[in-house]
């Protein structure tokens, strides 16, 4: 059998969906990713971005990227391990370690590579990784790349985690990994319930703060800070592609652990390092996150408005309590039709279909920014009401 046969079958499916006008992916945006965007010459309200603080359009962040390019050039031409480390890489890592009150930090080229490199390096043969069933794909892929055993526990369920850990042998290391904010559900990991369970069984815990840095916590350091558990969480991971308005990833923890990762993470050693522009953007964004808490306050004002507005219209938003607000639709085609009508009406959102969600659990993922104006969000709610009635979702 030709190994490309599967590609032909898949191509036919994608082509049919495109021909019928329901293909929602790889849509080119003609403007900077801000609270509104231009697509095919049409300005749309952007409710499908992870740009929570709106910093991708901030002139200070853009200026930092330009100045770094002028000084260092466009790329580093090698991995961090060899010739790809600049002084600003070290500066960023030191400032992130301070920000998270950790001993050390290492930056990777993407958030995905961070989880792959950290988990696959730490979890070896005879070890266990225990993941929330709704953890991000990068966590699961890191577990699958490791030589250890992957175990899963029910979403945000400390009793389920207890049962899983209790069933494991005493020998062998144990790493529990959870998202801080879950990227599709918009709910928060209950760390005050999970961490004591980990301690009881001698398991280390790692929190993926990709969607929560800049969003939660007194200084914006994420869910760990929000719950005041910095002294009890072992590793904090995050990305630069969301609140940091850049590209890359990082993990912070004990110096001896980060030193081990620095010398053993294959996705770090065998990938080119983050470009100077990306590093400088992340540095400037971190400075703004720390110095301008009012951005976070504005984000949460917008979030509270939408968390109240959607249920008032009759939408089911599940357990969301953050700027990620899913609208649970269920049927795949109804979800795609709903997305298409929203798109035509000038609202950009993301349809999420199986296998990203369980069968018959399709949803529309919406997310919010500090730079959204209240009038803009009121207009969006009016469109959601109109389209919901038109499509039978409401």
Q: How far apart are CA 245 and CA 281, in angstroms?
A: 7
The answer as to whether 45 is a domain residue is no
CATH of the domain at 250: 3.40.640.10
Examine the domain organization and report whether 86 and 196 are in the same domain: yes
User: Does the annotation count 49 as an active-site position?
Assistant: no
Considering its fold, how many domains does the chain have in total? 2
pLDDT digits (tens, 9 = 90+) for 334-377: 999 999 999 999 999 999 998 888 889 999 999 999 999 999 99
Examine the domain organization and report whether 263 and 376 are in the same domain: no
Examine the domain organization and report whether 268 and 198 are in the same domain: yes
The answer as to whether 37 is a domain residue is no
| Element of type H or E holding 382 | helix 374-391
Q: What is the phi-psi region of residue 360: left when phi exceeds 0, alpha when psi lies from -120 to 50, beta otherwise?
A: left
With vertex at residue 381, the alpha carbon angle to CA 379 and CA 383, rounded to the nearest 5 degrees, is 70
> Active-site residue among 35, 174, 211, 361?
211
Q: What three-state secondary structure class fits 371?
A: coil
Examine the domain organization and report whether 209 and 339 are in the same domain: no
Residue where a domain terminates, one of 261, 291, 321: 291
User: Does the annotation count 242 as an active-site position?
Assistant: yes
Examine the domain organization and report whether 120 and 211 are in the same domain: yes
pLDDT digits (tens, 9 = 90+) for 285-338: 999 999 999 999 999 999 999 999 999 999 999 999 999 999 999 999 999 999
Residue where a domain terminates, one of 291, 317, 333: 291
The answer as to whether 42 is a domain residue is no
The answer as to whether 41 is a domain residue is no
Domain interval for residue 305? 5-30+293-391
Whether 13 shows a pLDDT value over 90: the answer reads: no
* DSSP codes joined into one string, 228-285: T-TTT--EEEEESSSTTSS--EEEEE-HHHHHHHHHH-HHHHTSBPPPHHHHHHHHHH
pLDDT of residue 297: 97
Examine the domain organization and report whether 323 and 187 are in the same domain: no
Examine the domain organization and report whether 319 and 353 are in the same domain: yes
pLDDT digits (tens, 9 = 90+) for 220-272: 999 999 999 999 999 999 999 999 999 999 999 999 999 999 999 999 999 99
Residue where a domain terminates, one of 291, 322, 346: 291
The answer as to whether 52 is a domain residue is no
> Active-site residue among 49, 183, 265, 362?
183
| Element of type H or E holding 224 | helix 223-226
SS3 content of the chain, % helix, strand, coil (to 5): 45, 15, 40
Examine the domain organization and report whether 249 and 362 are in the same domain: no
User: Does the annotation count 71 as an active-site position?
Assistant: no
Q: What is the pTM of this model?
A: 0.95
> Active-site residue among 35, 136, 242, 340?
242
Rounded mean pLDDT of 38-61? 97
Number of residues in the chain: 394
């Amino acid at each position: 059998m030709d190994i490309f046969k599967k590609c032909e079958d898949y191509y036919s499916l994608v082509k049919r969906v495109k021909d019928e006008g329901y293909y929602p992916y790889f849509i080119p945006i003609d403007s900077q990713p801000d609270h509104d965007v231009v697509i095919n010459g049409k300005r749309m309200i952007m409710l499908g971005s992870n740009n929570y603080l709106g910093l991708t359009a901030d002139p200070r962040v853009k200026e930092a990227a330009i100045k770094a390019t002028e000084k260092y050039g466009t790329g580093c031409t090698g991995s961090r391990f060899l010739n790809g480390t600049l002084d600003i890489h070290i500066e960023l890592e030191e400032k992130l370690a301070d920000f998270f009150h950790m001993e050390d930090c290492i930056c990777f080229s993407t958030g995905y590579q961070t989880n792959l490199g950290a988990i696959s390096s730490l979890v070896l043969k005879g070890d266990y990784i225990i993941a929330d069933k709704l953890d991000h794909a990068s966590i699961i892929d890191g577990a699958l790349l490791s030589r250890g055993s992957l175990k899963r526990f029910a979403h945000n369920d400390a009793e389920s985690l207890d049962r899983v850990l209790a069933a494991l042998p005493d020998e062998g290391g144990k790493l529990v990994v959870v998202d801080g904010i879950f990227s599709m559900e918009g709910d928060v990991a209950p760390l005050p319930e999970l961490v004591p369970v980990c301690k009881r069984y001698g398991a280390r815990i790692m929190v993926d703060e990709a969607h929560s840095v800049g969003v939660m916590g007194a200084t914006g350091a994420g869910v760990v800070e929000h719950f005041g558990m910095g002294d009890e969480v072992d590793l904090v991971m995050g990305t630069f592609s969301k609140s940091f308005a850049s590209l890359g990833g990082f993990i912070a923890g004990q110096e001896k652990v980060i030193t081990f990762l620095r010398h053993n993470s294959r996705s770090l050693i065998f990938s080119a390092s983050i470009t100077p522009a990306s590093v400088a953007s992340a540095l400037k964004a971190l400075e703004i996150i720390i110095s301008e808490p009012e951005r976070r306050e504005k984000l949460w004002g917008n979030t509270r408005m939408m968390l109240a507005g959607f249920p008032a219209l009759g939408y089911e938003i599940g357990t969301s309590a953050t700027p990620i607000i899913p609208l649970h639709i269920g049927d795949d085609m109804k979800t795609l039709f709903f997305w298409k009508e929203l798109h035509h009406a000038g609202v950009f959102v993301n349809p999420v279909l199986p296998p990203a969600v369980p069968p018959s659990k399709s949803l529309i993922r919406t997310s919010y920014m500090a730079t959204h104006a209240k009038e803009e969000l009121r207009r969006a709610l009016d469109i959601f009401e109109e389209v919901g009635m038109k499509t039978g979702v409401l």
